[in-house]
A and B are shown apart, each in its own frame.
Chain A
Amino acid sequence: MDAFSALLTGFQVALTPLNLAVAFAGVALGTAIGALPGIGPINAVALLLPLCFALKLPPETALILLAGLYYGSGYGGRISSILLNIPGDPGLVMTTLDGYPLAKSGRGAAALAISGIGSFVGGTSAVILMTFLAVPLARLAMSFGPADYVALMVLSFALLGTMSEGKAVKTWIAVALGLLLAMVGIDGGSGVERFTFGSLELLGGIDFTSLTIGLFAVAEILVLAEGMISGVVSRTGDGARLTLKEIVFCLPAMLRATGLGFFLGVLPGTGASVASAMAYTAEKRISDKGTFGKGDMRGLAAPETADNAAQTGSMVPMLALGIPGSGTTAVMLGAFMMYSITPGPLLFTQRPEVAWGLIASMYIGNLMLLVLNLPLVGLFARLLLVPAWILYPGILALSYAGVYAVSNSPFELLITTAIGILAYLMRKVGIPLIPLMLAFVLARLLEDNFRRALSLSDGGYEILFSTPTSIILWILALLAIGWPLVRQMQGARAPAPGEA
């Protein structure tokens, strides 16, 4: 089956009334949630995740919804970045650099329009690339053995460490914590209870929805309650509207950013934040004549395009390899697993309706988003005027209602809050949450493959390094582990060794 006919079958799935409605709900809610200050894609997906399970949506429908939230919030995020100067997530920091100055000079509407178009160009081109690249990549992974998978997962953890500047050690701590949390409960291989401390409730392990809500909803609200984030809404302004000339002027920047963003999105470990930062820097180097940072359209279009291209790109390794490329896709991988679907090489042959239905829905969703985000952007911008004291308690209530709807257990709410406290403290001391999430989702796969590899060799460790693929991946992983550690050690030594 070539990509075209497969995509056509995908459209048959995506165009059913339920899936169309869900795609629309996903992208509209995604835009709305993305528009709220301090709340980004991962919070959006986490918030709606329990409802998907509680409603017992079919897997392709649930994933169309979650994916819609994900790339929809990529569109919505620009609104608070441009009008409030508050990026909803790290991927949007660059959007503020030229977006906010434009809004302050009265051209907020034009800034919203060009970034909306950029998001569409990035998102749609990336879906096209994904249509043709996902299956070849999956075929490549078909030959992967357990040892190769172990190496691949270690590599993606290691890449996370290289991306967080000066935090390599803390990234590994987060990974280890995530893996340990995932081990709570009954071990599938031997039936032994691990880390349950005799508690009956913990026998089934820590629920994935409780973990995501705790990490990305409860902790977020706690931080917001401290009032660390605030801003003044800048009006969309009545300056000149966006002209066709300006769109054409930005087009080369958008296309460059698409390529860069998609590529960085596909790489495991690097996500939208790296992509938009690199696209901005690259564009600045190519076209800056002293206008960047003061409201240059290209400085706004480039990171916003790259951000959306990377979001879609990061779904490629999640679907084709079963290894997520970002925190949000890790949540989506967890959603797959709760439906007992294993993403990866076999997904496209065994569950084509899920894989292709999802991809087809992203074409439709991006079109919906273009409509929602150009004429109707004012509606979403008005969300910024909803007072915090209505909004955030509401989000907290929805989080707990969702967890309760899935579990029907007040105990699960306590676990969620406990994870929220842990996440809050981790944020305070600078331990990143995304690696914990990623590790928690991959833990089962990692341990299973590890044990499968070692049973093949009857306990001999040499099997982990026995195939050419695994050796290459291990070398890459070692480089990725070693490099930031060396840099961090140097960094810690150089300025004022006695301090801290």
Chain B
Amino acid sequence: MIDRLVGLICILLGSGAIWHAQTLHVPFAADPVGPRLFPTIIGAILALGGCALVARPGRVELEFGTWPRALAVLVASLIYPLLLLPLGFILATALLCFAGSLAFHARPLPAAVSAVATAVVFFVLLDTVLDLPLPRGPLGI
């Protein structure tokens, strides 16, 4: 069932790639092949692979652990880029690590301590020692 679904997605993606390649408008071609042929072939391979999966699906056991924890890490990761510039590296990273620590079964207080420590250590290591500028927050840190 899962394999059929994956196959179907591959067929869609493959056909999408082929269609996209055909819409490319080439003002001039330096070589006789142009930019269309290669994506067309690859799209076809993807679609064919998808067909093979739909026709002869294997058995996939979808195993999830405690997936809400992975989801929590994911949500934190998605919010992180939005906070990075407004809050600065240290604060944003501490929040990311705090959420991450909780997801990895930490109690709130140790999680907060380790999150702040991680953020500060990386900031000092990357920004101060290795001279790779990281965004600073409103307070200049």
Contact = CB atoms under 8 A, between A and B. Distances in A.
Contact of B31 (A189, A396, A417): A189
A205 interface: no
B89 A222 contact: no
Contacts of B137: none
A405 B66 contact: no
A55 B46 contact: no
B16 to A, nearest CB: 9
Interface stretch (A96-104, A123-131, A177-185, A297-305): A177-185
Contacts of B84: 404, 410, 413
B104 A225 contact: yes
B133 to A, nearest CB: 8
B134 A190 contact: no
A170 B30 CA distance: 35
Contacts of A398: 122
Contacts of B73: 221-222, 225, 396
A172 interface: yes
A459 B70 contact: no
A213 to B, nearest CB: 11
B50 to A, nearest CB: 7
Interface string A393-426: 1101110110011000011011001001100100
Interface string B34-56: 11001100110110011011001
Interface string A31-56: 00000000000000000000100110
Given A173-B10, A396-B100, A413-B84, A430 B122 contact: no
B65 A227 contact: yes
Interface string B70-95: 10111001101110110001000100
A417 B78 contact: yes
A198 interface: no
A498 to B, nearest CB: 11
Contacts of A192: 24-27, 35
B56 A190 contact: no
A430 B53 CA distance: 12
A492 interface: yes
Contact of A194 (B24, B81, B98): B24
Contact of B118 (A175, A394, A450): A394
12 contacts: A169-B52, A170-B49, A180-B43, A221-B100, A392-B104, A393-B104, A398-B122, A405-B126, A428-B63, A451-B33, A459-B32, A492-B57
Interface of B: 1-4, 6, 10, 13-14, 17, 20-21, 24-35, 38-39, 42-43, 45-46, 49-50, 52-53, 56-60, 62-67, 69-70, 72-74, 77-78, 80-82, 84-85, 89, 93, 96-106, 110-111, 114-115, 118-119, 122, 126, 130, 132, 134-135
Interface of A: 51, 54-55, 166, 169-170, 172-173, 175-177, 179-180, 183, 187, 189-192, 194-195, 218, 221-228, 387-390, 392-394, 396-398, 400-401, 404-405, 410-411, 413-414, 417, 420-421, 424, 428-431, 447, 450-452, 454-455, 458-459, 488-489, 492-493, 499-500
